[in-house]
Structure 1
């Protein structure tokens, strides 16, 4: 298992590529795969706000597009307000939004795992770690439809 700090570092690197001109809040996500590799994503906002994509969704969609949806074993997420240069800042760990918790749950159930979710900040060493089942108790997902 990769150290949560390594996932947070990868998520921070991904957040540097966030396209967040409207919220000015950059988010990065990093997925640890079964083979030890890491897949990342950053939020991508759109002028039509409802079409924006969260970092976790981008990373999970990338893993799925590569045929690796069932191989995710852990996730790291960071976020922070962007400074004038577009660099995420802040020392308070952020956790996935409700929509992302549901998207993470889809991948977790498809892989038969209760994923660890490591939440960090744009700066500093603070990390809060949870099991997905703590962040989304009694989740509805593929198993409820007899899939998975």
Structure 2
């Protein structure tokens, strides 16, 4: 990822409720493609393509934090796109918008219904079962480009 931006937010809801909100937001967004999801590991990898900016990858995971949850998000520009001066600002804006939308879903002011999905990652256009949430998925996009996501 290029020009990555990261944020961690502590929430009072359970980790499962926060992950459900995260997944619902992703499933209901217009320009987002889910590249990998692991429900039990509460991990998600997305590709967002906005109309007026470079495509972005988002890596999201939810961890237990005391009696609540910690939402972690990293947003970075697709390294296969041409570098732009505003990549960092666009990534920051995307990050803030996603966090606000998830908080809206958890607060009840935003609707984002969830459709159950199996644990998988994409290899070209095929869904491959993602067995171990501790291993980063090996996502393969556009034929010959292998993208491995991790921090």
Whether TM exceeds 0.5 here: the answer is no
Higher strand share: 2
Between 1 and 2, higher relative CO (CA 8 Å, sep ≥ 6) is seen in 2
Higher helix share: 1
TM-score using structure 1 length: 0.28
TM-score using structure 2 length: 0.28
